[in-house]
A and B are shown apart, each in its own frame.
Chain A
Amino acid sequence: MSTDDATTVANDRLVDREDMIVCVDVDKWYGDFQALNGVTATIKEGEVAVVCGPSGSGKSTWIRCINRLEVHQAGDIFVDGIELSNDLRNIEKIRSEVGMVFQQFNLFPHLTVLDNITLAPIWVRKKPRAEAETAARALLDRVGIPEQAEKFPGQLSGGQQQRVAIARSLAMEPRVMLFDEPTSALDPEMIKEVLDVMKELARSGITMMVVTHEMGFAREVADRIIFMEGGEIVEVGTPEHFFTNPTEDRTKLFMSQIL
């Protein structure tokens, strides 16, 4: 572990905040392959944490463990004080507090943009349709595509689809947002529009955990950068620390390759 321990706080503004995501010694195997090896980290409420590292380093696996899309085999994960265990009630509670945005958007192609966004509020939160639709239109406004509400996902560009996906997650009013390489499937000119939405979101004070290769984004909005390799957390620190003098050799190598 580096100079800056993963469980300590990077940014002064977060010192008094409560712990939102706590991972203690999380292990995960696929057959013989160990994808996560003793991952320990704490994300504070309102923190923006960027997870980076080479492909196959376990970033996506880790973030997918946090809302139980993957099942970790050892260690403990707590989200907002709720333990992620085999208890179905806990899983449901955590999933309704944690929003997730995928690399491939995963919008529902048979539903309009509006129906995509209102589906979960209506069927999980039991909201009246009219109320859910008003909220959905407000969210579409927030991500900058209010005019696309009646269209189907197949009629939108990649960047627009990803913004709908963000709006869809936000509709559940989550306290934590997980982003799993949200811009990796996009054309360069569409990356900016998605990143702009994410920056706005970061400033709004929601807890965010972002797996990405967009180091510009990390430098601008991240409170902390977590660098992973081979299923382990190698180094944790502020963006400034990472961009000026990373401690570990592997981090230096990685930063030199992507900058």
Chain B
Amino acid sequence: MASNPPPSMHHERPPLYRDVTVVKWVVQVIALLMVLGTLWFLAGQAGDNLRASNVPTDYDFLSVNPGIDLSSGIDTDPDTGGRALWVGMVNTLRMAAAGIVVATLFGLLVGLSRLSNNWLLRKLGSVYVESLRNVPLLVQILFYGAVFASLDRVTKDVGPINGWFHISNKGLSMPRVHIADGFYQWVVVLIIGLVFANLMRKRRNAQQDATGAETYPLLSAFGVVVFFAIVGWFIHPIFGFIGNIFDGAASAISALPENVLQLLIAGGSLGAAAYWIRGFLNSRRTPAGLARLTDDDYFRMIFAAAGGLLGALFFLVLWPGLSSWFINSGSDFFEVLGNKFGGGRSGRPVDVALPEIVQSGKFPNYGPSGLNFSIGFAAVFFGVVFYTAAFIAEIVRGGILAVPKGQTEAAAALGLRRSTALRRVIIPQAARVMLPPLGNQYLNLTKNTSLAIAVGYSDIVQVGQTVYNQTGKTLPVVSIWMFFYLSCSLSISVIVNFFNVRMRIVER
């Protein structure tokens, strides 16, 4: 044993009120309690005031017929408020997804043209960026709306290709490909094809590495998928048995006893805490054995244990309905899948419906069979795409300029062709710089689609406004808006961050 340290080296515990660790944790717990208490108090006050002034805060309208018609979407005559908002959400998501893809491609083109050696392209790019990003988006959307509204009025033979493709002041109407009876069995074949395509891609890659010969791995993988898609078109009915598997899963879930599931959920909460504590202890373990735990570590473990216990109590006592919800929605989910994949649905995977022009009242309009884009959609779409593309162009330009000139020179000196250098050296590095601001632009685009209200496109805000005008449930609708946009934004952030982390350059 080592000799005793001199008296001055003894670790003397300071009194609790002077112990840094204790003080730190106590202060944090108190701060947390104060914040929670304040929020609790404010929420209670708000609730009282709202009740006193008779402002409705309930969500009943979600299951009541709102009696509204929507200008476009998967269901233009929704039978409940919830359905109406759902249609609005789908419209917003459609707009955002399509907008992000097109704005990215277009912005890339404009950004590259601003870097081009061609004088005309460069100037065109500059003029585009400077004019588009300096005019408010709302003005641009209204402008496009006005332009499209001045198109010909819709008639039976408005053209340009009657029965196939129509353009008018009601927007665009074209043939629609829609899911038919055999679709889901066909998807099963496609998934099998994807597995084989992946195998093919790996094989081809290995082959290329081994021989150096170009083997086009992605192209051949795509070929495999196409092959399976064509074969599946004819043989998909034999995969009807997949439906039985889902049916079996549904009945297995509904056979689960509720109490056992409840206990399992509570146990899961405790288990999660125990798992965390075990991992934490392991992370503190030195090769020689258990290392000395600091006071901080004890605090952390105590909090984890308390959290797990509280969670278990919460699920057992305060929310006993959770298990039946799990069982019901789980079995419902698999029942739906069983129905979709089930046998006896042996039609074609997809069908095509031609657009039509109907005249129910005084004025003709596009019928529901075609794929219709209203002028509202077009106005918002062009608005957000052109506007966001201007910003994306600047991001692309900045990203490529941020790659040092030496990288291009080194690639050239090695004899790499310009295209190979771009693909292997410049773009991978530029993408790292571009990704975070690009994510911001995607968020902006998604949020900017709410300006659709200006041209009457049925996005979530427009639908929501109609709903609360009909029902007076302003606050609940606004809360749904906020929750929806928050979920969209967080999802985009998560995806962008995922790529961001994956592409980080290793240093030191």
Contact = CB atoms under 8 A, between A and B. Distances in A.
Interface stretch (B66-74, B77-85, B205-213): B205-213
Interface in A49-97: 67-69, 92, 95-96
B406 A106 contact: yes
A123 interface: yes
Contacts of B212: 122, 126-129, 131
B413 A154 contact: no
A104 B508 contact: no
A73 to B, nearest CB: 18
A168 B210 contact: no
A110 B407 CA distance: 11
A69 B414 CA distance: 11
Given A102-B406, A104-B406, A154-B506, A126 B213 contact: yes
Interface in B404-437: 404, 406-407, 409-417, 420, 424-425, 428-429, 432
B505 interface: yes
Given A110-B428, A154-B506, A95 B415 contact: yes
A68 B105 CA distance: 33
A162 to B, nearest CB: 12
A36 interface: no
Contact of B505 (A102, A110, A119, A169): A110
Interface string A121-154: 0111011111100000000000000000000101
A95 B412 contact: yes
B415 A130 contact: no
A158 to B, nearest CB: 13
A109 interface: yes
A210 interface: no
Contacts of A127: 212
A109 B429 contact: yes
A106 B409 contact: yes
A217 interface: no
A237 interface: no
Given A106-B407, A106-B409, A154-B507, A120 B210 contact: no
Interface in B241-267: none
Contact of A152 (B208, B409, B503, B506): B506
B443 to A, nearest CB: 26
Interface residues of B, number: 30
Nearest to A68: B412
B429 to A, nearest CB: 6
Interface in B55-114: none
B505 A154 contact: yes
B410 A130 contact: no
Contacts of B432: 110
Contact of B508 (A98, A99, A123, A154): A154
A58 B425 CA distance: 29
A226 to B, nearest CB: 21
Chain A CB within 10 Å, residue with most, of B414, B424, B429: B414
A120 B416 contact: yes
Contact of B409 (A69, A96, A122, A129): A69
Contacts of A110: 428-429, 432, 503, 505
A69 B508 CA distance: 31
Given A106-B407, A108-B425, A130-B209, A100 B505 contact: no
Interface in B481-508: 503, 505-508
Interface in B198-237: 208-214
A211 interface: no
Contacts of A131: 212
Given A106-B407, A108-B407, A130 B414 contact: no
A139 B210 CA distance: 20
A21 interface: no
Nearest to A99: B413
A102 B414 contact: no
Contacts of A124: 414-417, 420
A95 B420 CA distance: 15
Given A106-B406, A110-B429, A154-B506, A69 B413 contact: yes
A123 B416 CA distance: 7
> Which 8 residue pairs across A and B have the least CB separation, nearest first?
A154-B507, A129-B209, A106-B410, A106-B406, A100-B413, A120-B414, A96-B415, A128-B212
Interface of B: 208-214, 404, 406-407, 409-417, 420, 424-425, 428-429, 432, 503, 505-508
Given A100-B413, A124-B417, A126-B212, 19 more contacts: A69-B412, A69-B413, A92-B415, A95-B413, A100-B410, A102-B406, A102-B409, A119-B424, A124-B416, A128-B211, A129-B210, A129-B212, A130-B209, A152-B505, A154-B505, A154-B508, A165-B410, A168-B414, A172-B414
14 contacts: A68-B412, A100-B410, A102-B409, A102-B410, A108-B429, A123-B420, A124-B415, A124-B416, A124-B417, A126-B213, A126-B214, A128-B211, A152-B506, A169-B414
Interface of A: 67-69, 92, 95-96, 98-100, 102, 104, 106-110, 119-120, 122-124, 126-131, 152, 154-155, 165, 168-169, 172
